[in-house]
Chain A
Amino acid sequence: MASTSAESTSTRSSPAAFELRGASVVYDGRAALRPADLVIRPGERVALVGPSGAGKTTLLRVLNAGVRPTSGAVLVGGRDLATLSPDELRHVRSTIGFVHQDLCLVPNLRVSQNVIAGQLGRRSLVGAARAMLWPRREDVDRAARILARVGIGDKLYQRTDTLSGGQRQRVAIARALFQDPLGILADEPVSAVDPARARDTVELLCDVARERGLTLIVSLHDIRLATEFFPRLVGLRDGAVVFDAPAGAVTRGALDELYALEGLERIPERGEDGSDR
């Protein structure tokens, strides 16, 4: 699990890709995220681990400018999200890819359209209509290359709802890549697929992130996948960051403690609980 050059070369002077400064989120009086400080450098690959309801999804949504923190600040690329106008906020969002747990594809569109939709954050209505209905040759070619990279190059013109669950997940990843983002956030990308495919998916996300120098933050239930593929782990429990360390430095004891809930005294097996919404 040696960290790659991408992490080690990120300089102290360049702004962090993502930064939380005492950011917390309270939903209806319940703390979904306790005041947290977190700095994620450009090109880092980080796994968020922790039991259901630990706040992993909330943390990702805060980083993605989808939830405004109740207190504290969130900085993306050095810019405080709380100071941005709608146009600036849209621009920041357009630089962050998000692979949703339930994929959020449009089932009755073609795969190519779902992939090209990755760039709609940067287009006007007319530009979006062009891209979706009469895409330029370059866009279609690029979508085809990305689909080939994620292993479903032959599905370009199929309707998305004719694909299997695993293939659809690759469409969601392809959409995030087509967006040409600086970073990709993935929320439990493997909660709905079988173990072999889960490993492939995590490996694919890490490989493309490394190839393109993207910052990658993935929430995972599966500790083994997290320690195998991610140089850095952030453990969450009850909305609080309980550890933030290189994967090699996270002890078995720390993990056991992370998952030591009432009546749950071991690391849960894969798929034991579905989501942490």
Chain B
Amino acid sequence: MNASPATIASAPKRPFFLGARGIVLVALGAAAIASWFLLDLSVGGLVPQRGGVRIVREFFAGALRPALDYESDVPEGTPSILWNTLAGARRTVVFATAGMSLAVVLGIVLGFFGSSAWWTGDPAGGATRASRFLRRFVWPGVWFVARTLIVGMRSVHELLWAVLFLAAFGLNTFGAVIAIAIPYGGTLAKIFSEMVDEAPRDAGLALRGIGARPTVVFFFGLLPRALPDMCAYTFYRFECAVRSSAVLGFFGFPTLGYAIAQSFENLHYREVWTYLYALMALVVLIEVWSGAVRSRFVA
């Protein structure tokens, strides 16, 4: 039986033209506008001051003519700028890789404890008192501690961690690596756990149905469904880590940022651009690599 036209005509009207979603959108727009007024932003502030125009012009002119040689005399035995760029780029990648390798392990371990899909929703789980205690208090407790830890790790920026470790250990390479690893591990753990929790659970439930332990359910039922997204996100974070690693150079670590800071202080903008182009090349390389890997996830 099809609905008659009469029933369609009497469909209830929406009670209010602006639904809950509409109200939220309007509020978000209002918050955006309010923030501009609160900061007293005016485009006039972006007009360069007297000397500024010259600096801006010189800086962007350097983009067209990146330095192929140092702009001033350098001590005898200094490697050429191109060699220096390559070495800086290499160290930038090495710092980022070391930080990410730790961060991925942290992300998977904390992501496991911070996800709930592997312990929730087994209505027929073990019937003993101990298993009920685990389900009701222990796993939720572990989950809560892990989520709190993850928030703590990632609410402090890697540069702040770097400042902290610099104060504590001095210019220590390992300090720079864990300065990247801690916030990145937290971010990866948050995203990994949410990806696993939001991925389809059918295969995980099927594994649990045939008696698999929670860890096995997680790693072979739930995680594989989220793996393509996790992989793509990890690549993106690696790209971020390369940028962070470069910026750590401003604190004296021997990455591209160190060279950029030195050239910038000496007003050698063309040298700055040489290093910036190297950084861009790194980001493009990672993008190409990640695209090639991700294309293999599509059946």
Q: List residues of chain A with CB under 8 Å of any chain B CB.
A: 64-68, 81-98, 100, 102-109, 117-118, 120-125, 128-129, 132, 159, 161-162, 179, 181
Are A85 and B124 in contact, CB atoms less than 8 angstroms apart?
no
| A-B pairs, 6 with minimum CB distance | A121-B211, A86-B126, A94-B211, A93-B211, A104-B206, A90-B211
Of B123, B211, B221, chain A has the most CB atoms within 10 Å of the CB of B211
Rounded to whole angstroms, the CA-CA distance of A138 and B205 in the bound complex is 27
Measured between beta carbons, the chain A residues less than 8 angstroms from B220 are: 106, 117, 120, 128, 132
Q: Which of B86-94, B177-185, B224-232 contacts A (4 or more CB under 8 A)?
A: B224-232
Whether B209 pairs with A90 at a CB distance below 8 angstroms is no
| Contact in complex: A104, B203 (CB < 8 Å) | yes
By size class, the interface of chain B is 20 to 34
| Nearest CB on B from A122, distance (A) | 7
Instruction: Using CB atoms, name the residue of chain A closest to B217.
Output: A120
Complex: A81 Cα to B130 Cα, angstroms: 16
Most B Cβ at <10 Å: residue of A84, A88, A96: A84
Q: Are A82 and B211 closer than 8 Å at their CB atoms?
A: no
B residues in contact with A87, CB < 8 Å: 126
Residues of A within 8 A of B131 (CB): 85-86
| Cβ–Cβ < 8 Å partners of A98 in chain B | 206, 209-210
- Decide yes or no whether B202 CB sits under 8 A from chain A: yes
Closest to A86 in B: B126
Given A82-B127, A104-B203, A109-B224: A124 and B213 interface contact (C-beta under 8 Å):
yes
Residue contacts A-B, CB under 8 angstroms, 7 given: A65-B124, A67-B123, A68-B124, A86-B131, A128-B216, A129-B219, A159-B299
The 8 Å CB contact of B202, one of A102, A121, A128, A132, is A102
Contact in complex: B227, A108 (CB < 8 Å): yes
| B205 lies within 8 A of A120 (CB) | no
With a cutoff of 8 Å between Cβ atoms, the chain A residues found around residue B297 in the complex are 108
Asked if B212 and A83 make an inter-chain contact with CB atoms under 8 angstroms apart, the answer reads no
- Interface members, chain B 161-217 (any A CB < 8 Å): 202-203, 205-213, 215-216
Chain B window 107-141, contacts with chain A (Cβ cutoff 8 Å), 1 for yes, 0 for no: 00000000000000001111110110010000000
- Which residue of chain A is the closest to B131 with respect to CB atoms? A86
Do residues B126 and A94 form an inter-chain contact, with CB atoms below 8 A?
A: no
A81 pairs with B126, CB closer than 8 A: no
